[in-house]
Structure 1
Amino acid sequence: MRNIFKKFNTLLALILIGVFSANAQDNMVDKVIAVVGNQVVLKSDVENRFLSLQAQGYTSGSVDLKTEIFEDLLIQQLMIAQAQVDSIEVTDQEVEEQLERKMEMYIQRIGSKEKLEQYFNKSILDMKNDLRDDTRDERIKEKMQAEITKNIHITPAEVREFYNSIPADSLPTIPGELQIQQLVKYPQVSDDEKDRIRTKLREYRERVANGDSFATLAVLYSEDPGSAQKGGELGYTPRSSLVTEFANVAFNLKTDKVSKIVETEFGFHIIQLIDRKGERINVRHILLKPQIEEEKRIAATTKLDSISDLIREDKMDFAQAAFYFSDDKDTRNNGGLLVNPYTGASKFEKDNLPPAVSKAINELKINEISSPFLDITGGKEAYKVIRIKSETKAHKANLADDWSIFENMLTGEKQQKILNKWILEKQDKTYVHVDDSYKNSKFRFKGWIK
């Protein structure tokens, strides 16, 4: 089975699934085109994915593209149906973590959170809501596949035999990869600026208490571009999708009550609870972002220069400096190493680096430290210095340098054989009904048509 969803390697193709899904019912007459167990496949499911792939110029090599998409959806629903039988579950936290990784990829591709929201005219939370159900299905499918193939074992002898079976001119070219360390300083906000922001938010709280509409105030004054136009409303959101400080206050509010002032990494908020359904809440908020004085920016870059000098003078290494001085909680405990959101590993192809980092490494050699530079992510200013920890050049794959690649290729082949066998067996044992309009389709697995 070829999984076409693994080909979604561009921002546009990935995010369009959610965008088109949100509008599918308005743009077509939808209907159920297949039932697998107690799972259904909708015509819009096929059309959405077709549009996404078509947008990046993808064509099917052997069968009609819509047929290929349809069959992949049938296989996915077959696995989800079996996952229910086997009591394989996915937690809300797993789904939210997967959504966070997707958002990180999208933001990295387009350059910033603001650009992403502007491009699709949706807030990050709206995009997550659009993608949540698909993401849950993807995660269940992944778990089911792992369960089906859990007993695969690969020996070193098998890897060597597999490598030797590949013609030399068919060996893949491995792109060059980098490991990047960073040290981050956020310019501090002055106490006077914090007081100014708090005074404004206290004024808005009083206005709401005196009868003004919270939603109207959010439209007028909130600096969250994703929610301001909707009166500050975020939509039904689980705790795991919200930053801790915000969630701790929001989940303890009573309906229509307005919170105290909450400080998060994004700025200062006041929050109003609209409704709660189980472990999801719908709130409005007004966000104000403190203005940073130029002297605070200079102080941040000066501090980075001083730390960089300590590293250059061998008074501490980069990893120690990141641990003691970096303000970035996600990288300071792992030596400052950036994590690739596409792979979860610490190596990047140059084209997959965040734009500001990619620009900063242009003149760097291995182990050199960059000059401080500005990187704005999530609307927040960060000043950074980076270092190339390691670099591998593009090369023809070989067993000495790329053992894990061939081990993974062989594992994938074995997994595919087991999955193919499993699909054929489950087709016989599972109720499957395919709409008559698809009964002449050329499927890879013949058992869909009963």
Structure 2
Amino acid sequence: MDFRIRVTIDSMKNFSSLLIIILLACTFQAKSQEKLIDRVVATVGSGIILQSDVDMQYSQYLANGGTPTEDFKCTALQQLIMTKLLSQQAALDSIEVSESEIDDQLNARMREMTRRAGGKERLEGFLKRSLLQYKEEMRPVLSEQMKAEKFQNTIISKVTVTPQEVKKYFEGLNQDSLPAFNTEVEIGEIVVYPELTKEEKNVFRTKAEGFRQQVVDGTDFGTVARFYSEDPGSANQGGEYDFAPRENYVKEFSAMAFKLKPGELSPVFETEYGFHFLQVLERRGEEVKVRHVLVTSKPTQASLDRVKGKIDSIYDKVQSGKLPFSTAATLLSDNKETKFNGGMVINPQSSSRSTLIPVDLLEKEVFIAIDSLEAGQVSKPYQFQDPRSGKSGYKFTYLKTRIPPHKASLEQDFAKIQEAAQEDKTRRSLSEWFEKKTKNTFVHINSEFATCDELQMWITNDTNNLASSKED
């Protein structure tokens, strides 16, 4: 890949991701010890950045597998300064984040941290504090980060590129070292999941009823959830989900959760995932904290045989031309993500929702299914398991386009080049904003960071400010 395209894409991703990172784990014990020897390493307008803030970012970097290097602290301080500048401008522009927005972010991050730690108790032991105390400590940090991100989005949202700008950007690249793209395809799919009969479902309902009866008989709910719940997102936490609004759940689950009083135990009920029973732990306005047990409804061989007959029938109609693929997908596919797109699959790594997908991103079974197809053909139906939901079913795949390996060109790769041009212009717009902002904002950086290349713009500005002060 051409160096300038690589730098544009990678730097933009790093710039955005680093700017919105909030370090929510791993370092609070060390941070509390450092408070005794903490010091200011940078002043940004009316705000300060502490050594412990930088060390906190470095600790998270190491926790995520980063290679130990003091150079990262330069990058960490750079990002903290940028966040301060953005959040201060957000305050001037009256950009706010609501308490519910902060709560949603905190709860989502707490769920992920709890999952990684292996349970609430283990996480609290690691943090040396209750999750409630931890969340309150993080609230102002998260608020500042979210305001910074919101203001950054007001800058980014105004950036667009015209076809002429895309062409100019492409022509400005080194034409002798343009990237070579691997084989890419456009594919569609029609998916059908098995439906269980009432008798088949009763096996799983009865199992859930048995677990519920254990709770009624006095067994701790959390214990039952840890041992028997088949929800990977909550079983290790005793079935708990933190405060969330009703739209966070499927309709049957939210309907049950929001009609019960705290402490009440629900009857067993069904959702698309299987059979549940839940208990409301606490209500807070339009949010509820619950715990539940899930027994997933697994397909029986009989249900798989039935769905195989159904997918074969759909395949015959498409293959014979009696039913266009896009129509069949819209009317008959069970894949909610693709059926209203004519069955076409979106490249998961494309910000512009391109349908061109490099073959190395395809799941193995999909690659095998289309490998021998010509454009316009469909594969025979095959059984699969969704890697995210774990649901089993049958599908067949349509190959719309196959583009062989090639050197980048405007004709074949306009969408990708447009993305790169957009990211390049966005990066330049943000850089210009920071450069302009630093001319009007006092930024002072501790001399310890004077050799950091990333900070030279602010160090130079700091030197100029000091020189101006002496002249005055």
Whole-angstrom distance in 2 between the partners of 1:443 and 1:120: 34
Pairing 1:367–2:361 present:
no
Question: Matched residue of 2:329: which SS?
Answer: helix
Are residues 155 and 321 of structure 1, via their aligned partners in 2, closer, same or farther at CA, if it must alter by over 3 Å?
A: closer
Q: Give the Å deviation of 1:430.
A: 4.2
The C-alpha deviation readout for 1:239-270, integer Å capped at 9, x for no partner, is 44333322232233221111232322221110
8 Å contact 1:304–1:372 — kept in the other structure?
A: no
The C-alpha deviation readout for 1:118-153, integer Å capped at 9, x for no partner, is 998579xx9xx99x9999988765653342355556
Are residues 201 and 418 of structure 1, via their aligned partners in 2, closer, same or farther at CA, if it must alter by over 3 Å?
A: closer
Are residues 69 and 289 of structure 1, via their aligned partners in 2, closer, same or farther at CA, if it must alter by over 3 Å?
A: same
Query: Taking structure 2 as the reference length, what is the TM-score of the superposition?
Result: 0.73
Are residues 212 and 404 of structure 1, via their aligned partners in 2, closer, same or farther at CA, if it must alter by over 3 Å?
A: closer
Q: Which residue is 2:128 aligned to?
A: none
8 Å contact 2:102–2:142 — kept in the other structure?
A: no
Question: Matched residue of 1:22: which SS?
Answer: coil
Q: Which stretch of structure 1 is more off in the superposition, 294-303 or 137-146?
A: 137-146
The C-alpha deviation readout for 1:340-370, integer Å capped at 9, x for no partner, is 3332513322222345434433343333322
Q: Give the Å deviation of 1:288.
A: 0.7
Q: Give the Å deviation of 1:307.
A: 0.8
8 Å contact 2:26–2:63 — kept in the other structure?
A: no
Are residues 405 and 386 of structure 1, via their aligned partners in 2, closer, same or farther at CA, if it must alter by over 3 Å?
A: closer
8 Å contact 2:181–2:406 — kept in the other structure?
A: yes
Question: Matched residue of 2:394: which SS?
Answer: strand
Question: Matched residue of 1:288: which SS?
Answer: strand
Are residues 314 and 173 of structure 1, via their aligned partners in 2, closer, same or farther at CA, if it must alter by over 3 Å?
A: same
Q: Which stretch of structure 1 is more off in the superposition, 132-141 or 302-311?
A: 132-141
Aligned residue identity for 1:416 = R
Query: Taking structure 1 as the reference length, what is the TM-score of the superposition?
Result: 0.76
Q: Which stretch of structure 1 is more off in the superposition, 401-410 or 315-324?
A: 401-410
Whole-angstrom distance in 2 between the partners of 1:93 and 1:271: 25
Whole-angstrom distance in 2 between the partners of 1:364 and 1:35: 62
Whole-angstrom distance in 2 between the partners of 1:77 and 1:412: 23
Aligned residue identity for 1:375 = Q
Q: Which residue is 2:470 aligned to?
A: none
Q: Mapping of 1:130-279 within 5 angstroms? A: 143-148=150-155, 152=159, 154-279=161-286
Q: Mapping of 1:8-407 within 5 angstroms? A: 21-26=24-29, 36=44, 41-49=53-61, 52=64, 54=66, 64-88=71-95, 143-148=150-155, 152=159, 154-344=161-351, 345=353, 346-370=355-379, 371-376=381-386, 377-407=388-418
Aligned residue identity for 2:356 = K
Are residues 53 and 225 of structure 1, via their aligned partners in 2, closer, same or farther at CA, if it must alter by over 3 Å?
A: closer
Whole-angstrom distance in 1 between the partners of 2:284 and 2:91: 24
Whole-angstrom distance in 2 between the partners of 1:136 and 1:184: 42
Q: Give the Å deviation of 1:311.
A: 0.6
The C-alpha deviation readout for 1:296-350, integer Å capped at 9, x for no partner, is 1111122111211111100011111111211122221111122233325133222
Question: Matched residue of 2:275: which SS?
Answer: strand
Whole-angstrom distance in 2 between the partners of 1:275 and 1:35: 42
Q: Which runs of 5+ in 1 are unaligned?
A: 107-116
Q: Give the Å deviation of 1:223.
A: 1.9
8 Å contact 1:122–1:226 — kept in the other structure?
A: no
Q: Which residue is 1:443 aligned to?
A: 454
Structure 1 stretches of 4+ with a deviation exceeding 6 A read: 90-97, 117-120, 132-139
The C-alpha deviation readout for 1:74-126, integer Å capped at 9, x for no partner, is 323422332333244568789979x99xx9xx9xxxxxxxxxx9998579xx9
Are residues 446 and 119 of structure 1, via their aligned partners in 2, closer, same or farther at CA, if it must alter by over 3 Å?
A: closer
Whole-angstrom distance in 2 between the partners of 1:240 and 1:268: 19
Whole-angstrom distance in 2 between the partners of 1:94 and 1:303: 46
The C-alpha deviation readout for 1:197-226, integer Å capped at 9, x for no partner, is 333433444443443322222233222244
Q: Which stretch of structure 1 is more off in the superposition, 166-175 or 297-306?
A: 166-175
Whole-angstrom distance in 2 between the partners of 1:368 and 1:186: 23
Question: Matched residue of 1:366: which SS?
Answer: coil
Aligned residue identity for 1:384 = K
8 Å contact 2:25–2:60 — kept in the other structure?
A: no
Q: Which stretch of structure 1 is more off in the superposition, 88-97 or 371-380?
A: 88-97
Question: Matched residue of 1:285: which SS?
Answer: strand
Question: Matched residue of 1:268: which SS?
Answer: strand
Q: Give the Å deviation of 1:390.
A: 1.7
Are residues 444 and 38 of structure 1, via their aligned partners in 2, closer, same or farther at CA, if it must alter by over 3 Å?
A: closer
Whole-angstrom distance in 2 between the partners of 1:369 and 1:94: 47
Are residues 87 and 340 of structure 1, via their aligned partners in 2, closer, same or farther at CA, if it must alter by over 3 Å?
A: farther
Give the greater-gyration-radius structure (CA): 2
Q: Which residue is 1:110 aligned to?
A: none
Whole-angstrom distance in 1 between the partners of 2:142 and 2:329: 34
Aligned residue identity for 1:365 = E
Aligned-residue RMSD, C-alpha: 4.3
Whole-angstrom distance in 2 between the partners of 1:241 and 1:410: 36
Q: Which runs of 5+ in 2 are unaligned?
A: 1-6, 124-130, 463-472
Whole-angstrom distance in 2 between the partners of 1:286 and 1:205: 8
Whole-angstrom distance in 1 between the partners of 2:277 and 2:265: 7
Tell me the number of residue pairs that the alignment of Structure 1 and Structure 2 aligns.
Answer: 420
Question: Matched residue of 2:454: which SS?
Answer: coil
Whole-angstrom distance in 1 between the partners of 2:54 and 2:251: 37
